[in-house]
A and B are shown apart, each in its own frame.
Chain A
């Protein structure tokens, strides 16, 4: 084999970085990778999505099914459903298993549905004022407005960070920022889902996470097909993944970073295609797809592999596109699109409606493709559907899960951010792009500090002697106990009800509300817990107790208080007033009672 005389990688990295400063990095311009090469035009759909304000029909007057089997929509039922003026694809698909067979969904509770929308789309529980402002003019308008909000992008970026398992211990942070940017483009409707999948299929955040071609194929299948590959699929597509090599790049600004490299394969001693080995680099299960790269001056000799490799940071747009073959071939499968809509249904409903009512899935797949692969269309459709908006209260007409609304547990970050918001308490944060900031800082240089500083992480206040305490992990430690802020090296996000998580939540709320009036850091200002016109020293009467309860319930639960809640508060006020009871000594325990309620955890 002819030995290469490559340019030093450092110099090439400088070139690739656009000859930027050799020492300092701009955290705002950190994203580098194939995600920057797509989705740089206008959104795929400029017109508003239809189906957001369907007028829901009454159930057809037939005996409803008895829960023991899937509903059977006969020809008359099909004709009836086809005649309904439903535009929303979920509603259309659901008709044959709902109204058409005589089933009624639960009614839509406006406040409850709005709260659900707000949490799912912004990542925080709303106050009553926010809920009223958000949902005052129809579901389509609310969803459209929230979808354009930066918070919606952040929620979905975080969701994909969990799915893709970002970790700076596994891959160069520039690639993570690039993937995050790509997700943003997907959720802004500027990248169609099949292109997104193609880019992800050859993105270092995916390839660098796995060590063998077969494992990469498996990850791809689980991600975009919702199942592991069969052996023949694994072996065949593995040929397109065999040229990835997990190495370390000596990054001019970040030091040694884990990154993806190309390991040239199927070549002879002269670096020409070896005809006898060509098949090792060719997938034939989805058409004839060959993937052979030939080293040039960009390649670098890797002494451990005893072969030339090419740092992925030096690949051109055309080369990236060729590497994206695995994602492109999978997107030709119907199951790929079905998985795409199933994920959205699961995200918002918390159960697998696509499997239970395949017509919903079919309708959504057609809807998605009709909208040029714009995933926003599916999010909009699900979020404005009866399956999502209907109430979780009361008994439904049948046991089918689509005859009642979805109830979900909030993510750890949602809970923490919501409590902090209503209590007016500033918390540190965690940044999904840098799941383990301490490890990143330990590996890095001054640039690592700059990146952390510009991220959602913060630094602790210096101690009494002026020494830095490093990255503030207080928020992350709380969130991790409750399943949030995952580090992603092995485990991801989880939701669990356990003694330890509940004890953590109670302890946190105890600190925020301070029911024993002990004072201390991180305690909510009493002003946040009292309505206007009531001072901390105001003597508690039944009426004052009512007004405090009403104020807090509006803030915490995003709804008006119930009569029994006000009556209960009045009684508690009388009980409190048997000894010296000020507004503060009533408001703080009430705050504890309200914020530790199940209503703050489930929505």
Chain B
């Protein structure tokens, strides 16, 4: 290899010979227009937000009316009447409804996904950055955008949501009720936030249960409780005044743990206990029957139980779709798990009675996204039978499905809010910024979003 060294040898020592002058560049800050809360107040009470992990080939699932290089699996059959968007064959795979378990699930209301696609809507063209010239196909930055709205974003969506719910939480507390915050199950990336947002970071729950949480301090002898209190008191008293607030904060969390501990210890949250006690119209055993026992299934079931305690939103990852090879063989099987989850959520939400009246379906929105779509360089699959992620439209568009009562109330059941050209996936209709989607979710939940994504507006089609 020929090389062309032209740089001057550099010396560490030379630094000490003089100090460089810093140059500050003045700049003008032009504030963006901030979109005020204009939506429907609290149109939904709960959100289940699912990341299809690793970059998802949306056109092979939720935008199937496209050329074979984008959807090599074909379209679904027996699709519910009134479905405008195109589910693919992969969405129809339903082995979870077979056998004895399948019979039980059918009894509980589970259906193949194509049979209720008219209760879902899809936004075929959601883009992280609609004004950018190309897609962001990088795992890290794509995920940063997914979790925070921006590359290098420092405040996660759920943190913004908790911040936006602060007044309601305070009001509930003033009335003597403990309202759980939004939870991130397993992903610390959904719990970023500093400064004013630091206190609103969602709890990150590792595992699928609260088994290790509780209020053990309440069970120790009074003398030991007194010693524990005195130890903290002494630490606080001896410290320099500047250091005392952090000790006070710790003591505050210990006191608050008692009230949260009662919730965390509630048998309702032990979703793996197969209890037959019916709460909100469904037992934990029935939830187990519906969802099965894998990680995302347990998380979804736990999410539904957290909602009982006022939790507004739960986020978790599902699957692992970064199939650079073997997608042709493995994606169909992987989709069966996703279909199972969607179908179980659909059935459970319809079955469950919400304390505020109606069903959980009426009050809950389920949304799926990913860090980006996937591309194959104009072939059905890449040379390894997989797909990649680059800068093209296939990477760019997240065709995000929405499911829940609000979709139907807004007249969006079965609708496709946008369109792509079959041959090259060119957008023919509306392109939504991903931040608009996030802001819509905040809006629907009734969260204050005045300080979130000021240049992006909520999607008005969801307003009822």
State the CA gap A331–B223 with chains docked (Å): 59
A564 to B14 Cα, complex, angstroms: 59
Tell which of B203, B221, B234, B383 has the most Cβ of chain A within 10 Å.
B221
Choose among B6, B143, B204, B232 the residue that contacts A500 (Cβ–Cβ < 8 A): B204
Q: Do B247 and A287 touch (CB < 8 A)?
A: no
A-B contact count (CB 8 A): 258
Which of chain A's residues has its CB closest to B382's CB?
A304
Q: Which of B2, B215, B238 contacts A394 (CB 8 A)?
A: B238
Query: At the interface, yes or no: A301 with Cβ under 8 Å from chain B?
Result: no
Q: Are B228 and A303 in contact (CB-based, < 8 A)? A: no
A407 to B239, alpha carbons, bound, how many Å?
A: 9
Q: A590 contacts B227, CB within 8 Å?
A: yes
Question: Is B285 interfacial (CB-CB < 8 Å)?
Answer: no
Q: Is the CB of B260 closer than 8 A to any CB of chain A? A: yes
Q: Which of B31-39, B103-111, B187-195, B268-276 contacts A (4 or more CB under 8 A)?
A: B187-195
How far apart are the CA atoms of A494 and B141 in the complex, in Å? Answer: 19
Closest 7 CB pairs of A and B: A211-B138, A589-B224, A510-B216, A490-B189, A500-B203, A477-B206, A593-B228
In the complex, chain A residues whose CB is within 8 Å of the CB of B256: 499, 502
Bound Cα distance A59, B441 (Å): 60
Residue B15 at the chain A interface, CB threshold 8 Å = yes
B422 interface hit (Cβ, 8 Å): no
Does the CB pair B19–A593 fall under 8 Å?
no
Q: Which of A295, A494, A502, A593 contacts B224 (CB 8 A)?
A: A593
Supplied contacts A331-B10, A496-B198, 12 more A-B pairs, CB within 8 Å: A167-B140, A210-B141, A218-B152, A287-B8, A318-B3, A407-B243, A442-B320, A481-B204, A490-B189, A515-B216, A594-B228, A602-B250
* Assembly CA distance A319 to B228 (angstroms): 61
Complex Cα gap A484–B324 (Å): 30
In the complex, whether A290 has a CB less than 8 A from a CB of chain B is yes
User: Which chain A positions have C-beta within 8 A of B25?
Assistant: 230
In chain B, residues 292-317, which have Cβ atoms closer than 8 Å to a Cβ of chain A? Answer: none
- Name A41-99 residues within 8 Å CB distance of B: none
A interface footprint on B1-34 (CB within 8 Å = 1, 0 otherwise): 1111111101111111001101001000000000
* Docked-complex contact B15 and A369, CB < 8 angstroms: yes
A318 cross-chain contacts in B, Cβ below 8 A: 3
B192 to chain A: which residues have CB within 8 Å?
Answer: 490-491, 494
Q: Mark A304-346, 1 if CB is under 8 A from B, else 0.
A: 1000000000001011001001001101111101000000000
CB-defined interface of B195-233 with A at 8 Å, one 1/0 digit per residue? 000100101111100001111110111111111101110
- Tell whether, in the assembled complex, residue A489 and residue B240 are in contact, meaning their CB atoms are under 8 Å apart: no
Report A-chain residues with C-beta under 8 Å of the C-beta of B232. Answer: 597-598
Counting chain A CB atoms within 10 Å of each CB, the highest count among B201, B206, B222, B264 belongs to B206
Chain A residue with Cβ nearest B244: A407
Contacting A503 at CB < 8 Å: which of B213, B230, B377? B213
Contact A602 B246 (CB under 8 A): yes
Query: Does B92 interact with chain A (Cβ within 8 Å)?
Result: no
Return chain B residues, CB-CB under 8 Å to A428.
none
Binary CB contact string for chain B from 134 to 154 against chain A (1 if under 8 A, 0 otherwise): 001111110110010001100
Given known pairs A334-B19, A508-B212, A515-B220, the reply for A503 and B257 (CB within 8 Å) is yes
Does B242 belong to the interface (CB within 8 Å)?
yes
Which range contains the number of B residues in contact with the other chain? 35 or more
Q: Which of B143, B214, B377 contacts A490 (CB under 8 A)?
A: B143
Q: A502-B253, A502-B254, A593-B228 are known contacts. Are A564 and B234 too (CB-CB below 8 A)? A: yes
The contact size tier of chain A is 35 or more
Q: Are A304 and B214 in contact (CB under 8 A)?
A: no
- Which residues in A have their C-beta under 8 angstroms from that of B227? 568-569, 572, 590, 593-594
Contacts of A599 in B (CB 8 A): 231, 235
**Contact, CB under 8 Å: A210 / B10:** no
| Complex Cα spacing A290 to B6, Å | 6
- Asked if B261 is an interface residue, CB under 8 A from chain A, the answer is yes
Cβ of A401 under 8 Å from chain B:
yes
Closest chain B residue to A290 by CB distance?
Answer: B6
Chain A residues in 8 Å Cβ range of B4? 273, 290-292
Asked if B388 is at the interface of the complex by the 8 Å CB criterion, the answer is yes
B249 within 8 A of A: yes
In the complex, which residues of chain B have a beta carbon less than 8 angstroms from the beta carbon of A401?
A: 242
User: Which among B15, B22, B224, B247 has the highest number of chain A CB atoms within 10 Å?
Assistant: B224
User: Which residues of chain A are near B187, meaning CB under 8 Å?
Assistant: 491
Q: Is A209 an interface residue (CB 8 A)?
A: yes
Q: Is the CB of A572 within 8 A of B226?
A: yes
CB <8 Å contact, B140 and A210: yes
Q: Least Cβ distance of A276 to chain B in Å? A: 16
Residue B351 at the chain A interface, CB threshold 8 Å: no
B71 to chain A, nearest CB (A): 20
**Docked pose: A170 CA to B144 CA in angstroms:** 14
Any B CB within 8 A of the CB of A575 = yes
CA distance A502 to B234 in the complex (A): 19
A414 to chain B, nearest CB (A): 16
**Can you name 14 A-B pairs with beta carbons within 8 Å?**
A211-B138, A230-B25, A303-B383, A325-B7, A334-B20, A335-B20, A407-B240, A478-B206, A490-B140, A494-B191, A497-B249, A497-B253, A596-B254, A598-B251
Report if A215 contacts B (CB, 8 A): yes
> Are the CB atoms of B15 and A337 closer together than 8 Å?
yes
Tell whether B241 is near chain A: CB-to-CB under 8 Å.
yes
Q: Which residues of A contact B (CB under 8 A)?
A: 106, 165, 167, 169-170, 192, 194, 209-211, 215, 218, 230, 246, 248, 256, 273, 287-296, 298, 303-304, 316, 318-319, 322, 325, 328-329, 331-335, 337, 366, 369, 372-373, 392-396, 399, 401, 404-405, 407, 409, 439, 442, 473, 476-478, 480-481, 483, 486-487, 489-491, 494, 496-504, 506-511, 515-516, 562, 564-565, 568-569, 571-572, 575-576, 589-590, 592-594, 596-599, 601-602
Interface centre among A169, A331, A401, A502 (most CB of B within 10 A): A502
CB distance from A540 to the nearest CB of B (A): 11
Contact A477 B377 (CB under 8 A): no
**Is B236 located at the chain interface by the 8 A CB criterion?**
yes
A478 proximity list for chain B (CB < 8 A): 206, 212
Question: With the chains together, A561 CA to B4 CA distance in Å?
Answer: 68
Task: Please tell me which one of the listed residues B205, B221, B261, B390 contacts residue A576 in the complex, with CB atoms under 8 A apart.
Answer: B221
**Contact (Cβ within 8 A) B243 A498:** no
Beta-carbon nearest neighbor of B24 in chain A = A230
C-alpha gap A215/B152 in the complex (Å):
10
- With A478-B206, A597-B232 known as contacts, the answer to whether A395 contacts B241 (CB < 8 A) is yes
CB distance from B323 to the nearest CB of A (A): 11
With a cutoff of 8 Å between Cβ atoms, the chain B residues found around residue A288 in the complex are: 6-8
Q: Is the CB of A333 within 8 A of B246?
A: no
The verdict on B353 contacting chain A, using a C-beta distance below 8 Å, is: no
Given contacts A481-B204, A487-B188, A491-B189, contact A597 B257 (CB under 8 A): no
A residues in contact with B137, CB < 8 Å? 211
**A496 adjacent to B201 (CB under 8 Å):** yes
Residues of A within 8 A of B115 (CB): none
Contact of B221 among A366, A568, A589 (CB under 8 A): A589
Check if A602 sits within 8 Å of B247, measured CB to CB: yes
B143→A489 contact, CB < 8 A: yes
B270 vs chain A, min Cβ distance (A)? 15
Contacts of A439 in B (CB 8 A): 320
Q: Does B359 contact A (CB under 8 A)?
A: no
Q: A334-B20, A502-B257 are in contact. Are A596 and B217 (CB under 8 A)?
A: yes
B246 touches A329 (CB 8 A): no
A289 CA to B256 CA in the complex, in Å?
Answer: 59
Q: Is the CB of B254 within 8 A of A506?
A: yes
Q: Give Cα A568–Cα B226 distance, bound, in whole angstroms.
A: 9
Q: Is the CB of A289 within 8 A of B242?
A: no
Shortest CB-to-CB span from B238 to chain A, Å, is 5
Q: Compute how far the CA of A337 lies from the CA of B19 in the bound complex, rounded to whole angstroms.
A: 12
Rounded to whole angstroms, the CA-CA distance of A263 and B261 in the bound complex is: 55
On whether the beta carbons of B216 and A399 are closer than 8 Å, the reply is no
A291 CB contacts on chain B under 8 angstroms? 4
A508 to chain B, nearest CB (A): 7
B283 at the interface (CB under 8 A from A): no
**In the bound complex, how far is the Cα of B191 from the Cα of A439, in angstroms?**
21
